[in-house]
Amino acid sequence: MRETSLAHPEPFTSEHFKRYLRVRWKEKGEKFEPDARLGIDIAELIKTSAERNAKLDAPYLDLWIAILDEFNSWLVSLLSTVYVPAKQDDAKLNDFERAVVVLLGKLIADTTALRHLITLGFDGSARTLLRSVAEYMHVLVALIDDPALGGEFIAAETPETANAFYFRQLARGKLHTRLEVAWARFFKSSGDAAKWFADQQRRQGNLLSGTAHPSFAGGTQAVMGFIETQLDENWLGHWGAKSNMSVMTIALYADCVLPLLLLTDFPFEGFNAPIMRPISYDTSNEMHRHVRLGRSVLASLVLSLNTESNHPYIYPPDFEPGPAIDDTGTAIVGNTELVSDAE
């Protein structure tokens, strides 16, 4: 019997692939100059796109990318606070903890991907991803409010069980109903304040659904970017055009994270019952301080971004942001003036 080598073969590289295509094209009668090809070189196009985006002056967008990074940094601290104690004593995570760790990991990954899409100039694709981010964010809030969901969530390991979980617990307004209950519990009533914030979440869901589904408007956003500095050249948005429309994308993200910031003091006292190793707030722990103090700072920031007097400083001219915050929101976290605090 002939011996068979167990060594893995050399990879079929991109250069091999290019030579393969040239052979196939020549078989079809195409003639090439040295190093030429048929059709546009996408790798060169992407390189040009990145260089072009780097030249665009977009101070409003730069501000909002910095805001997005702060939210993501806070999520990293929250994940570290929940996961590190379990990792240190090598104990098994319970269903609730596993669900929280997976949800936070997914949110951090998708928020990072959202940043990449925005800086590369693909705001339409970022909006599509944001719809998923918003749902994951709201599921995490619902899970913290109702820890029993953890068992069902981690059981959704196949496309079939995931689909069943979605329709049983989240679809057709069920997730928004859970958020309404959580807001009412936060305000200790189902009055105007709870209704305002619940309605805000519903508006976000409707807007993101509209941009995620196939539509002429959604397709147009991918081709025509609204940018601060138009370079003197022909360039289509579907090649990547950094856009001030992404300011609104990040503003929607900020609104999506608000319930997670305001509704609980998870994972500390009063909200750590589902955790196998209850976490006590430790002022000497930087991650603990970032999670607890960051809740107040970032929640105030979100409401500041929705305060009309701040809009001229943070939105490009002629932008029409969503409904401004009123006295209801201001009363919750206090001062919402951005410029006076920064000066």
Q: What is the pTM of this model?
A: 0.83
Which residue, 316, 295, 306, 315, is CA-closest to 337? 306
Structure tokens at 37: 């090809």
Q: What are the DSSP calls for 22-91, one per residue?
A: HHHHHHTT----TT--SS--HHHHHHHHHHHHHH---HHHHHHHHHHHHHHHHHHHHHHHHHHHHHHTTP
Q: In sequence order, what are the residues at sequence separation of 6 or more whose Cβ sits closer than 8 angstroms to the Cβ of residue 283? A: 289
> What does the mean pLDDT of the chain come to?
79
When comparing pLDDT for 128 and 230, which is higher?
Answer: 128
- Asked whether residue 235 carries a pLDDT value surpassing 80, the answer given is no
pLDDT beyond 70 at 328: no
* pLDDT in the model for residue 153: 82
Do the beta carbons of residue 124 and residue 56 sit within 8 Å?
no
* Token digits of residue 83: 């996961």
Q: Render pLDDT for 243-273 as a digit per residue (tens, 0 to 9).
A: 888 998 999 999 889 888 887 788 887 666 6
Residue-wise pLDDT for 204-224, tens only, equals 666 666 566 666 666 666 666
CA dihedral sign of residues 190, 137, 303, 229: negative
198 contacts 173 by C-beta, under 8 angstroms = no
Mean pLDDT within 16-26: 89
**Residue 3: per-residue pLDDT:** 52
Q: How far is residue 311's CA from residue 316's CA, in Å, rounded to a whole number?
A: 9
